[in-house]
Amino acid sequence: MYILTLFAVLLSSLPLLALTSPTSQPQSYPPQPATCSPRPALRNPSFESGEIPPLFPSPPPARGWYIGSLLGSTTYSLTTPGSPLPPGGGNKAFTAQMIPNINSKGLSGLTLQQNLLSCARQNYSVQVDYRFKEVDADNNCKLTISYPFFGGVRGSVETGSSVVQPGQWHTTASFFPGLPETEPGSRLFDISFFCRYGVRNEITVDNVRIEKFDGNVS
């Protein structure tokens, strides 16, 4: 585990946190003063604008959410109310109705994406509120948050449908570095919804927080 080893105490208050790591050895560095002052890392992070993310836009928007992949007969919409967890997700949230079809061989899913703005040599935390309408012991549905990491790989944090309470809001979290322009790889921030074996579910996310983190990411 390359991420969060030193931060278990910080995250002990977050319910049901499940983490995964990049697949290659990352670099690490102590936090440095930011050399840029970008706009917020994400546009419309709590979906309060009421904008429905477009499906497969060409070209993708420079800022804002869009749907980069869709599997099965999955549908999506903005729903109310938002997450009640602090600091509160407002009146709207993003919900995916996970519906497989005969062509998807029992699979369903979608990927919600947005270009990420960050400062090089500045570490960040990410937190996302989520809920599964249904749970199952076999963990047939999952939510995965992905973000840029060193060496062109992707870091991620994954939460399955077997470790939560049905219909209740929880928070998942991780940490990642702001990469220099010379670092290879995508700068996309992804939230992926997925179910298998014909399982149907309703997965909702809200209150996506990406903030500067004054600690090491290793």
Q: What is the CATH number of the domain that holds 48?
A: 2.60.120.260
In 3D space, the residue among 142, 141, 112, 121 whose CA is nearest the CA of residue 42 turns out to be: 112
Task: For residue 192, tell me if it sits in a domain.
Answer: yes
pLDDT higher for 24 or 70?
A: 70
* Tokens found for residue 61: 């928007």
Task: For residue 80, tell me if it sits in a domain.
Answer: yes
DSSP assignment, residue 4?
Answer: S
Which pLDDT score is estimated for 21?
34
Average pLDDT, the chain: 83
Tell me the pLDDT tens digit for each residue of 56-74.
999 999 999 999 999 999 9
Which pLDDT score is estimated for 157?
95
Which pLDDT score is estimated for 91?
94
Task: For residue 78, tell me if it sits in a domain.
Answer: yes
Which pLDDT score is estimated for 37?
65
Tell me the pLDDT tens digit for each residue of 152-170.
788 999 999 998 889 999 9
| Inter-residue contact 87 to 212 (CB < 8 Å) | no
Domain count, the chain: 1
Q: Give the three-state DSSP class for 7.
A: helix
- What is the domain extent for residue 187? 5-212
Cα dihedral 71, 75, 79, 85 in deg (nearest 10): -20
CA distance 188 to 120: 15
Which pLDDT score is estimated for 28?
45
Q: Tokens 């470790």 correspond to what residue?
A: 163
pLDDT higher for 93 or 148?
A: 93
Task: For residue 63, tell me if it sits in a domain.
Answer: yes
- 169-188: burial string, b at 16+ Cβ within 10 Å, e else: bbbbbbbbbbbeeebeeeeb
Task: For residue 88, tell me if it sits in a domain.
Answer: yes
Which pLDDT score is estimated for 203?
98
DSSP assignment, residue 171?
Answer: E
CA distance 196 to 189: 23
Task: For residue 217, tell me if it sits in a domain.
Answer: no
Q: Give the three-state DSSP class for 46.
A: coil
Predicted TM-score (pTM) above 0.75: yes
